[in-house]
Amino acid sequence: MLARDEYLERPIDFSRQRHMLCGKCSHQWVVDLGWIDRWDHALERCPGCGVTCEAEMAPRVTVDPDDPALRDENVARLVWYHTSTQPDWPTKHFDPAAGLTAQTRQMMGGDNRVAQWAERQRAKALHVGTYEAAIHNMLRRIDGQADHGNQFYLYRVHLKPTVVVRDGWLIDPSNFVGDVILDEACPPGVDVARYLNYHEDPGGLSLALGPTAIASTQSIAIPLLFNDHPGWIATAVGEFENAPTTSPPLIGSRPVGRRRAPSPKSSKASELVALLTQRLPVNLRSKFEAATAFDDNLKPEDWSRYVMGIMNTIVAPEQVAATLDGEIVRYL
């Protein structure tokens, strides 16, 4: 393993410019996140050939030619990140079937089927990427509901200096559930493969790898509250106390079907979050809003602390990363 000061930490910038490549006319250019947002809504065109996002072979983000991760010799020196709900990622002797009930095993088709499924799970590659990609990943998983309310951990990952890096980079190889088979991404003799991200920190490079490529990890539970932007939590809690206790009657005659009107507290929460959201990069706003949705079972204070903790992971990343400095180094 390298000495700590031999590792390279990249500047963290959720709003940095992105490189675009048109699949139709091969034009390459640089845009900001606002441009990509308008592009996604078919409000921008390729400067080369005029197509919108609706065209076949339409432009997509591509790698930044100056990305330090493109140089093989940098890959093991860069600091990488990962978010997981597992407190001991990457879990040694991982048994994906351990938590299955007898009933689930039966529903999956019996023990042989479960064993085959577990084998496929163990064959999956691990992923590490930029800090930004790790946070994008966490928000996507909370937004997808499956991990709503679960504790997340942020991992800082140091690779072994001897890792063999696959030439070039792959196009985001994940299937629709984000799985990559390790042997496909990293054939024999290769330890890590770079791939271009389309969804998490778009345009950034992540790595698919096996656990043997990792030298050590450090981790913290997130979200982490260390910074309460000018007393936002107390203000938010005060606003909840002033919120009406019953929902206003629905106005108008439009049938609302079975959908219930949001409670006064969740309406208040949405108002409070909307103000914070304006300060975030445009490609994180809807995920942030979904991740911070209010649940009437929550105490306003707990919810407010959670919201500010999530906010900190995006607006104060250097402080979050610095918190990792004091954590125990776990050697694999």
Among 48, 68, 96, 264, binds Zn ion (CB under 5 A): 48
Q: Whole-angstrom Cα distance, residue 138 to residue 313? A: 10
Select 30 or 329, whichever has its Cβ closest to Zn ion: 30
We find the least distance from the C-beta atom of residue 35 to Zn ion, in angstroms, to be 14
Select 22 or 196, whichever has its Cβ closest to Zn ion: 22
| Residue nearest Zn ion by beta-carbon distance | 22
Q: Whole-angstrom Cα distance, residue 197 to residue 123? A: 21
From residue 188 to residue 217, the character string flagging contacts with Zn ion as x (rule: CB under 5 A) and all else as - is ------------------------------
Phi, psi of 206 (to 5 degrees): -115, 175
We find the least distance from the C-beta atom of residue 38 to Zn ion, in angstroms, to be 16
We find the least distance from the C-beta atom of residue 177 to Zn ion, in angstroms, to be 31
- For residue 194, the SS3 value is strand
We find the least distance from the C-beta atom of residue 26 to Zn ion, in angstroms, to be 7
Q: Whole-angstrom Cα distance, residue 34 to residue 47? A: 16
Among 20, 31, 36, 46, binds Zn ion (CB under 5 A): 46
We find the least distance from the C-beta atom of residue 66 to Zn ion, in angstroms, to be 22
**Binding residues for Zn ion, total number by CB under 5 A:** 7
Buried b (16+ CB within 10 A) or exposed e, 269-297: beebbeebbeebbbbbbebbbbbbbbeee
**Window 14-43: residues binding Zn ion (CB under 5 A):** 22, 24-25, 27
CA angle 15, 196, 211 (to 5 degrees): 110
E strand spans, the chain: 18-21, 28-31, 60-62, 80-84, 126-128, 152-159, 170-171, 192-196, 205-209, 214-222, 330-331
We find the least distance from the C-beta atom of residue 298 to Zn ion, in angstroms, to be 47
Q: Is residue 45 at the binding interface for Zn ion, with CB under 5 A as the rule? A: no
Q: Which residues bind Zn ion (CB under 5 A)?
A: 22, 24-25, 27, 46, 48-49
